[in-house]
Chains A and B, each alone.
Chain A
Amino acid sequence: MSDTSSNPDPHEFDAVDHSHDHHEGSYLEPAGGVWATIKQWALTKDHKKLGVMYMFAVLILFFLGGVAALGVRAELWEPVRYKTTTTVNDQGETVTTQEVTGQIFNVGRPKEEPVTDADGNPVLDDNGEPLTETVRVYNLQTGNETYNRMFTLHGAIMVFMVIIPSVPAALGNFFLPIMIGAKDVAFPRLNLLSWWIYVFGSIFAVASIFLGGVDTGWTFYTPYSTTTDADHWRVVYMITGAFILGFSSILTGLNFVVTVHKLRAPGMGWFDMPLFIWARYATAIIQVLATPVIGVTLLLLIMERLLHIGIFDPNLGGDPVLFQHFFWFYSHPVVYVMILPGFGILNELLAVHAHKRIFGYRAVAFASLGIAAVSFIVWGHHLFTSEGSLAATVFSALTFLVAIPTGVKMFNWIATLYKSSIVLNTPMFYALAVLFLFAIGGLTGLPLATLATDMHLHDSYFVVAHFHYVMMGGTIMAFVGGLFHWWPKMFGKMYNDRWAMVGAVLVFIGFNVTFFTQFFLGTRGMPRRYASYVDEFQIWHQISTIGSYILLVGFLIEGAVLLHAMIAGKKAPPNPWGGMSLEWETESPPIEHNFPHEPIVKHGPYDYDEVVPPHWDPKDYPLPEGAPSHHEPGHH
């Protein structure tokens, strides 16, 4: 154990008593040889290692999904047009040719063509059947098809493989047990299983790309999804992938619910939990209750495709709107699986870097549960233009209910800044950015919940902008903020805050340039999922595309800063920010079993005005006069 941990004030803390420490190593310590280490990680039941693996998987998939998005944006730089040219040939005839312009990506499509001889007669094979050969055709339609595959890939990866596991699985796994003072989750083996299910599901889904890609959109609406590419398996692979990923989500949720109930450290009541845990707990409940519905729905979809059972396809007597109900019954609550953990992180970022208790702790905790509950009864707002008007009315009313707890949280967060003591570092910058972006995302939800205006805005770019503000501006930005907040804890290394800040500012600017323009595109009439558009929209699309490349630069810088820290960063102290929740009381990186002894909780996670956080190296943080004295330095 290093010198960096001094001991806590005995009157306020005795969370970790290091004096009897039997010198347990960090969880990152390799097991010996390369193979032993690989085996150690692949079969680990340690929630921290699993969290780290999820994190890298999510970051790699985020990159892949991002590349697809940049492809989409590049394609939209110019609308797709025909260019007609008329020339006079040798015989003096005028020949007009049509050429498609404005298409960047066009992978073409294979097609069977009859083989003809020099005179144009069909060539027959040995059985007298006309001979055919496979050629690749390239035209307007195949280019559009390529575009459709790109945005489907982007949406499916970002939703099923990035956002859903990002905070919940990656940071949740690493920090949920530590923050409640537990050694691990309740069912570590199950946790390992969830991880491998996630890997397996992702492989299935990504495999569908290499088999030619899927063009259903991530929403898989029927009857399009039951009939497109009917002669291929890749759509089934993609759906199977999403189906498998669901199990990972359910098992993780289950595990976390039990962990929170059973493994809280002595002294930690429900209202002593950090708000991140509350958010993660509410999320886990949604995961457990809603995910089985999408599982069944996707299974039915696969059966419809393969066995034509006639449940969603009207040609077989099914109802396509039924699918939409099933789909959104899951996918709306899952929107909160995506955002609630982001809120959770935001609480930690604000509390720790503003050194202030979250204003109205209980209101924020209950708002999480309230949002989780209401999220189950608002799915119909995705169907305002497809369902009957009575249903639309009821769902509109219910949807507004979600706005209330969400608004309450916003106000509480802002009030938290009052009389606070802020260090404006990278994690804090991300926290403020999330408040800014999520405010826009939330407020633009109002015209979508209002029936009269949603009739216009539904399925337009306004919606695309709205959910990017919420999901990317809310969740992904909080996730990245969480990475900067906890990176020193996870890997025991500090990063270069100045460069991290440069990247963060670029991300913030790039994000707004990319997506704010899309609100105007939407209200002006640009439909979503269009490979082309009327000329008038071009300027807006070009601004948006430029923004997306600024975003790319920002993220590349952030990635470089984090990697650099891992390799060459300065050693991080156990508590670099002066946080009060339990993860700051163990080593950086944490030891194998998190804490040498079960911690006993004697103060709330945000009691900044009651106690002075322990665990600073007195050399780094000389105590000013009047501060409670540390007792004599440890056993070293």
Chain B
Amino acid sequence: MIHLLASVGPVQELFFRDNGQATYSRDSDLIFLGLFWFSFVTFVVMMALMIYWTIKNRGWKKGVRVQRSASHNNVMELTWTIIPTLLVVVMFVVGFRAYARQVVSPDQAINLDVAASKWSWEITYPNGSGATETTAQNDVGANAAPIFVIPEDTPIKLTMSSADVIHSFWVPDFRMKQDVFPNRFTTYWFQSEKLKDMDRDNPDLDYPNKEHWLFCAEYCGDNHSEMAGIIRIVPREVYAGWIREPFGKDQTLLEIGKTLYTSKGCVQCHTTDGSSGTGPSWKDLFGSQSQYSNAPAWTLDANAVREAVYEPAAKIRQGFPNQMATYQGRINDKELRALIAYMKSISTYTTDFDPAQTWGDLDPSAEGAADGAQDSGAEDTGG
């Protein structure tokens, strides 16, 4: 009965865009609606009395002694102290029990790593890869945001940490958030509802799917409002296929590089149209001569890019702050090659670039990017 009230009522639709989308979020919606109706009734009764007595008792004759009335009433006052006390005990207990379900994750869960940094989210999957697709520009922020693929109806446990300041992982559709810190790990778990055949948040996909906004809820600086993502719930078999082969063998490096540029968060600081950002623009960057504030000038070749990505503090570009965090362990070798392909494609300082090169060309024997996060050896990465 109560469940029905919570899942379809117009009040639910007014406050929430949809029903809670994680297994535990029905509870918090129910509690919210319970509190709403309690508050609504309390409020209406109080205001009705206030307005009624105000109208009824209008008028006061100057200099006339007013009517006598009780200064207090112990029974009444005790009643309206004790009843609210009991009610808040109930609220606390109910809230606590639902909270326990939100924070205690089941033993068997898929473990994923979440790395937060100004101003992007990254999820690293067991195979070492990250998001392989991004939203169009202006979908959940002005910048494109990464899309994270998550299997339906499966417990997922995120182990989260931040590379810089505090962030907070909030998926409003799950009704749950958790702060992410630079000095310790925090966890966030959820299990989505089972997909129904008609769930087609993204109609371009040929399988049922639901897409949920992911926001950063703890203020973290300039582009806090750009720190968004999409959690895409997909059928289990789709997830299994994707995890085996995150990028298609015949996807071009250029195309993949463009995706990684957004999904790995490069976009937050580097533009590709030559305009200025926190870091230098990638337009006409590759192959150019760069000035450093703490090192001699150097031509930006593939090795220079590698160093800039894995050891950003080693050489600081003239006129830019030392603000980039290292991508050691977060971008693997093949991904770096894809990024370089993208940089080359928008630079007039190099001609050595084959737009047709594909992911599969990089390492015909490897299965996708399953080699995981590699150590950056000194070997030449091409270019």
Contact = CB atoms under 8 A, between A and B. Distances in A.
A356 B69 contact: yes
A320 B72 contact: no
A460 B71 contact: no
Contact of B219 (A401, A419, A529): A529
Interface stretch (A107-115, A168-176, A290-298, A489-497): A107-115
B176 A422 contact: no
Interface in A357-371: 357, 359-363
Contacts of A412: 77
Nearest to A317: B183
A527 B96 contact: no
Given A616-B63, A621-B62, A385 B177 contact: yes
Interface string B12-49: 00111100000001011001100110110011001101
Contact of A455 (B67, B99, B181, B275): B99
A196 interface: no
A432 B59 CA distance: 16
How big is chain B's contact interface, by range?
Answer: 35 or more
Given A396-B92, A404-B84, A532-B226, A459 B177 contact: yes
A363 B72 contact: yes
A419 B69 contact: yes
Nearest to B177: A385
How big is chain A's contact interface, by range?
Answer: 35 or more
B300 interface: no
B218 A221 contact: yes
Nearest to B179: A386
A627 B96 contact: no
Given A139-B277, A525-B215, A611-B65, A435 B50 contact: yes
B243 interface: no
A325 to B, nearest CB: 13
B221 A228 contact: yes
B166 A527 contact: no
B175 A223 contact: no
Contacts of B94: 450, 452
Contacts of A418: 53, 57, 69
B224 interface: yes
Interface in A288-334: 314-315, 319-321
Given A111-B276, A609-B66, A621-B63, A450 B222 contact: no
A519 B63 CA distance: 46
B91 interface: yes
A315 B325 CA distance: 13
Contacts of A452: 27-28, 31, 94-99, 102
A451 B95 contact: yes
Interface in A481-523: 519-520, 523
A633 interface: no
Interface string B96-113: 111110110000000000
B31 A453 contact: yes
Contacts of A533: 225
A612 B271 CA distance: 76
B32 A417 contact: no
A355 B68 CA distance: 11
B99 A443 contact: no
Nearest to A320: B166
A542 interface: no
Contact of B91 (A357, A444, A450, A609): A450
Contacts of B98: 451-452
Contacts of B50: 414, 417, 432, 435-436
A455 B65 contact: no
Interface in B303-357: 318-319
Contacts of B97: 452
Interface stretch (B133-141, B245-253, B364-372): B133-141
B182 interface: yes
A623 B63 CA distance: 6
A609 B220 contact: no
A616 B275 CA distance: 73
B15 A520 contact: yes
Interface string A99-112: 01000000000011
A162 interface: no
B374 to A, nearest CB: 26
Interface stretch (A53-61, A76-84, A275-283): A76-84
Contacts of A423: 58-60
A624 interface: yes
A450 B92 contact: yes
A528 B172 CA distance: 13
A443 B65 contact: no
B189 interface: no
Contacts of A610: 65
B223 A422 contact: no
A627 B72 contact: no
B324 to A, nearest CB: 14
B57 A417 contact: yes
Interface in B137-186: 137-143, 164-166, 168, 170, 172-173, 175-179, 181-183
B182 to A, nearest CB: 4
B70 interface: yes
Contact of A527 (B54, B58, B60, B217): B217
B28 A422 contact: no
Contacts of B62: 578, 616, 620-621
A446 B97 CA distance: 16
Contacts of B143: 82, 140
A439 B46 CA distance: 9
Nearest to B62: A621
10 contacts: A97-B273, A112-B319, A113-B276, A355-B60, A363-B72, A396-B95, A452-B28, A456-B25, A519-B15, A528-B219
Question: Would you list the 8 A-B pairs with minimal beta carbon distance, nearest first?
Answer: A525-B172, A314-B183, A452-B98, A450-B95, A451-B99, A421-B60, A456-B175, A530-B225
Given A404-B81, A447-B36, A612-B64, 16 more contacts: A81-B142, A144-B224, A215-B221, A359-B70, A359-B72, A385-B178, A417-B57, A421-B60, A435-B46, A443-B42, A450-B35, A452-B28, A452-B94, A452-B99, A520-B14, A528-B219
